[in-house]
Structure 1
Amino acid sequence: MKLALKRIHTYFYQYSVGFFFILFWPVLFLLSKRPKLFRYINKLRQIIAFISSASSGIFYRATFEEPIDWSRTYVICPNHTSNLDVSAISVHLRNNHCFMGKEELRRHFVLKFFFNTIDITVNRESKMSSFRAFKQASEKLKNGVSVVIFPEGTIPDNYPPALHAFKNGPFRLAIEMKVPIIPVTSLDTWKVLWDTGKEFGSRPGICDIFVHKPIETAHLTLDDADALRDEVHAIIKQKLLQA
């Protein structure tokens, strides 16, 4: 009975996302025709993420290690345990940003709109696709758009989820572009909805994320990419152990 209710909640949440996306669709469509206004697509995504979650009893709470200067551009690296991570992070970022995600997300009813306009898709099995994606990410950073990349590359299959090894891409990108990197620890989004919610369903609750202080990269070279990757992994792992 409990599992059935959690699965019903998952459907309710998913339909809430779809409902509010359709409600805002006319404005999103108009904005999609004006690339200079793409930053407002991001603002509307934040609104849709918040109200669709809140209508399902899901809320997001962020703790910041120190105040963030949102006038700067960042590469943002969170761990990944739930589809709610995107909403939790998006709601609390105060600058223009985009997400990098797997190519399959272009088939999602809601997400395909954002990946066709402001976000970046990548086929991680293709070196050419990865090259193009990170080239696009570089252009975003040059234009003052922060890039959110989940360095695990996917949501881990094991439950409860454990932190997996990080890929090098986001760390090389941050060093090449000389922008700070912000580690973000998603502490318990998986307890509210793990992965897509298909197996265990979801429930109302508060999802906590911890935004660590930025790590400067201006003094680093590409030879330091592995060390930076390991540093960010250790920061997030330590925070998860403390939770």
Structure 2
Amino acid sequence: MRNFLAILQLMIAGLVFVAVMIIVLPFIVLPILLIPGRTGRAIGFYFLQFWAICTSTASFIFFKSYHHEKAPDGRAYVYVLNHGSYLDAMGVVMCIKQAFRPLGKIEMTKVPVFGIIYKRVAVMIDRSSKGSRERSVQELKKELAQGGSILIFPEGTMNRTEKPLANFYDGAFRIAIETQSPIAPIAIINARTLMPRSNPFSIRPGLVKFIYDDVVETKGLTQDDLPELKKRIHQSMERIIISNESKYATHMSDPIS
């Protein structure tokens, strides 16, 4: 019975995912093509949020942000988040209130319909190509220089380990230091439990939490500070995950905060 309900939930969510994506496709792509820069992307972002809300409702998986006030809108941030589920893509457009450009794998452009939108809103990277990696870094830095925010999953890909947080790559922190941009860490809680990457058919209804950590300023930092910066943010995000994920927590006296 449980398997039947999970398959039914996944089918309904998938149908709504595709149907709404087709409907909003022109409203996302056209503003980006016709209105260059951040304004066009901001318009498209509103329709992405509409798609996410519809898909979330249909799947009975809901998203809520906590301590959003720690990263007030209006600043250009390097958002860094843990990544463990396909649900993360839906949650980021609902729980980050201002438009941003994510760093995305070029493989995602092969997904029907979604891929058309993805390559318009994200900065594409082919990790097997040095030239692609260098171009993506320059594009992300340009976005920050123009006052826009960017989003990077510093684990590099979905966490395939049993650990709450995989090791971080340097990229997000190097970009933040080079542009002297603030880093806004966000811990995603419960997504891996509700829809594990290894078995999407075990999907179940529930709440995914996006918990904002304190913004980390990089003004005055140099590349010599990168290892300590990366370690500090990793430890802080890991602490939040362990405190709020029931599969890791042994004491739940102070969840969220």
In structure 2, the partner of 1:119 is: 122
Flag structure 1 segments of 5+ consecutive residues without an equivalent.
none
In structure 1, the partner of 2:254 is: none
Mapped to 1, the partners of 2:199 and 2:137 lie a distance apart of 30
| 1:166 pairs with 2:168 | yes
The match for 1:82 among 81, 85, 92 is 85
In structure 2, the partner of 1:142 is: 145
In structure 2, the partner of 1:11 is: 11
Report runs of 4+ in structure 1 exceeding 6 Å deviation. Answer: none
* Superposition CA RMSD, Å: 1.8
Deviation at 1:16, TM superposition (A): 1.2
Mapped to 1, the partners of 2:12 and 2:185 lie a distance apart of 31
- Structure-2 change in CA distance of 1:130 and 1:156 (3 Å): same
Map 1:173-192 onto structure 2 (within 5 A): 173-192=175-194
Mapped to 1, the partners of 2:228 and 2:63 lie a distance apart of 31
Instruction: Report the 3-state secondary structure (helix = DSSP H, G, I; strand = E; otherwise coil) of the residue aligned with 1:117.
Output: helix
Q: How many residues align?
A: 241
- Structure-2 change in CA distance of 1:90 and 1:74 (3 Å): same
Percent identical residues = 25
The match for 1:98 among 91, 96, 101 is 101
Task: Give CA-to-partner distance per residue, 1:123-168, whole Å, 9 cap, x none.
Answer: 223222211111111111112221110000111224x563110000
- Structure-2 change in CA distance of 1:123 and 1:26 (3 Å): closer
| 1:128 pairs with 2:154 | no
Deviation at 1:45, TM superposition (A): 0.7
Instruction: Report the 3-state secondary structure (helix = DSSP H, G, I; strand = E; otherwise coil) of the residue aligned with 2:186.
Output: strand
In structure 2, the partner of 1:213 is: 214
| 1:24 pairs with 2:24 | yes
TM-score by structure 1 length? 0.92
TM-score by structure 2 length? 0.87
Structure 2 counterpart of 1:182, one-letter code: A
Q: Indicate conservation of the 8 Å contact 1:81/1:161, yes or no.
A: no
Whose RCO is larger (CA < 8 A, sep 6+)? 1
Instruction: Report the 3-state secondary structure (helix = DSSP H, G, I; strand = E; otherwise coil) of the residue aligned with 1:206.
Output: strand
Task: Give CA-to-partner distance per residue, 1:35-90, whole Å, 9 cap, x none.
Answer: 33222111211111112111221110111174322110000000011111122122
Q: Indicate conservation of the 8 Å contact 1:168/1:229, yes or no.
A: yes
Q: Indicate conservation of the 8 Å contact 1:7/1:197, yes or no.
A: no
Mapped to 1, the partners of 2:124 and 2:175 lie a distance apart of 16
Flag structure 2 segments of 5+ consecutive residues without an equivalent.
245-257
Instruction: Report the 3-state secondary structure (helix = DSSP H, G, I; strand = E; otherwise coil) of the residue aligned with 2:202.
Output: coil
Deviation at 1:116, TM superposition (A): 2.3
Deviation at 1:194, TM superposition (A): 1.6
